[in-house]
Amino acid sequence: MNKEKWINEALDSTAGMQRAAAPAGLFTGITNRIGSSIDTSPVSAKRWIAAAILLLAVNLGSALYAVASRAEKTGNTASSSTPFSEIQAGTTYNY
Protein backbone atom coordinates (compact mmCIF):
# COMPACT_ATOMS: atom_id res chain seq x y z
CA MET A 1 0.00 0.00 0.00
CA ASN A 2 2.85 2.34 0.81
CA LYS A 3 4.35 1.69 -2.64
CA GLU A 4 1.09 2.62 -4.36
CA LYS A 5 0.91 5.84 -2.35
CA TRP A 6 4.47 6.70 -3.38
CA ILE A 7 3.66 6.07 -7.07
CA ASN A 8 0.58 8.29 -6.90
CA GLU A 9 2.54 11.07 -5.20
CA ALA A 10 5.26 10.89 -7.85
CA LEU A 11 2.72 11.07 -10.67
CA ASP A 12 0.82 13.90 -9.01
CA SER A 13 4.01 15.92 -8.51
CA THR A 14 3.99 16.82 -12.22
CA ALA A 15 0.61 18.51 -12.00
CA GLY A 16 0.71 22.09 -13.24
CA MET A 17 4.02 21.73 -15.08
CA GLN A 18 4.36 22.81 -18.70
CA ARG A 19 6.27 21.02 -21.42
CA ALA A 20 9.45 22.65 -22.66
CA ALA A 21 9.12 24.27 -26.07
CA ALA A 22 11.84 24.28 -28.71
CA PRO A 23 12.86 27.52 -30.41
CA ALA A 24 11.00 28.35 -33.61
CA GLY A 25 13.79 27.72 -36.13
CA LEU A 26 15.43 24.73 -34.48
CA PHE A 27 14.06 22.02 -36.79
CA THR A 28 14.92 23.88 -39.99
CA GLY A 29 18.40 24.68 -38.66
CA ILE A 30 19.07 21.01 -37.92
CA THR A 31 17.81 19.83 -41.31
CA ASN A 32 19.91 22.48 -43.07
CA ARG A 33 23.05 21.34 -41.24
CA ILE A 34 22.37 17.68 -41.97
CA GLY A 35 21.64 18.37 -45.62
CA SER A 36 24.83 20.35 -46.16
CA SER A 37 27.21 17.90 -44.45
CA ILE A 38 26.16 14.63 -46.11
CA ASP A 39 28.02 13.65 -49.26
CA THR A 40 25.55 11.79 -51.46
CA SER A 41 27.86 11.15 -54.39
CA PRO A 42 27.96 7.50 -55.45
CA VAL A 43 31.04 5.39 -54.84
CA SER A 44 33.30 5.40 -57.87
CA ALA A 45 34.09 2.26 -59.84
CA LYS A 46 37.77 2.54 -58.89
CA ARG A 47 36.90 2.21 -55.21
CA TRP A 48 34.70 -0.83 -55.87
CA ILE A 49 37.51 -2.46 -57.84
CA ALA A 50 40.05 -1.65 -55.12
CA ALA A 51 37.75 -3.10 -52.46
CA ALA A 52 37.22 -6.27 -54.52
CA ILE A 53 40.96 -6.72 -55.06
CA LEU A 54 41.63 -6.22 -51.35
CA LEU A 55 38.95 -8.73 -50.41
CA LEU A 56 40.29 -11.26 -52.90
CA ALA A 57 43.84 -10.83 -51.60
CA VAL A 58 42.74 -11.32 -47.99
CA ASN A 59 40.75 -14.44 -48.86
CA LEU A 60 43.57 -15.92 -50.94
CA GLY A 61 46.12 -15.14 -48.25
CA SER A 62 44.05 -16.74 -45.52
CA ALA A 63 43.45 -19.84 -47.69
CA LEU A 64 47.17 -20.19 -48.39
CA TYR A 65 47.98 -19.71 -44.73
CA ALA A 66 45.49 -22.40 -43.73
CA VAL A 67 46.87 -24.87 -46.27
CA ALA A 68 50.46 -24.16 -45.27
CA SER A 69 49.76 -24.48 -41.55
CA ARG A 70 47.92 -27.75 -42.16
CA ALA A 71 50.90 -29.07 -44.13
CA GLU A 72 53.23 -28.14 -41.26
CA LYS A 73 51.03 -29.95 -38.73
CA THR A 74 51.06 -33.14 -40.76
CA GLY A 75 54.80 -32.89 -41.40
CA ASN A 76 54.24 -32.79 -45.14
CA THR A 77 56.59 -29.98 -46.11
CA ALA A 78 58.05 -31.53 -49.27
CA SER A 79 58.47 -29.27 -52.25
CA SER A 80 55.91 -31.26 -54.25
CA SER A 81 53.25 -30.33 -51.72
CA THR A 82 53.13 -26.57 -51.97
CA PRO A 83 49.98 -24.67 -51.06
CA PHE A 84 49.36 -24.01 -54.74
CA SER A 85 49.49 -27.66 -55.71
CA GLU A 86 47.07 -28.56 -52.92
CA ILE A 87 44.64 -25.89 -54.05
CA GLN A 88 44.95 -27.00 -57.68
CA ALA A 89 44.35 -30.62 -56.69
CA GLY A 90 40.83 -29.64 -55.72
CA THR A 91 40.98 -30.79 -52.14
CA THR A 92 38.49 -29.28 -49.78
CA TYR A 93 38.90 -28.69 -46.09
CA ASN A 94 36.41 -27.79 -43.42
CA TYR A 95 37.92 -24.72 -41.87
Range of the domain at 66: 43-95
How far is the C-alpha of 29 from the C-alpha of 27, rounded, in Å?
5
User: pTM of the entire structure?
Assistant: 0.38
Would 28 be classed as within a structural domain?
Answer: no
Would 2 be classed as within a structural domain?
Answer: no
Separation in Å, CA 56 to CA 8, 17, 50, 83:
64, 62, 10, 17
Would 29 be classed as within a structural domain?
Answer: no
Would 3 be classed as within a structural domain?
Answer: no
Would 15 be classed as within a structural domain?
Answer: no
Number of domains in the chain: 1
Would 50 be classed as within a structural domain?
Answer: yes
CA angle 85, 88, 89 (to 5 degrees): 85
Would 75 be classed as within a structural domain?
Answer: yes
Closest to 83 in 3D by CA, of 58, 65, 57:
65
Would 26 be classed as within a structural domain?
Answer: no
The pLDDT profile of the chain, 95 residues, written as one tens digit per residue, is 689 999 988 888 888 888 889 999 999 988 888 876 666 678 889 999 999 999 999 999 999 998 888 877 776 555 555 556 666 665 555 55
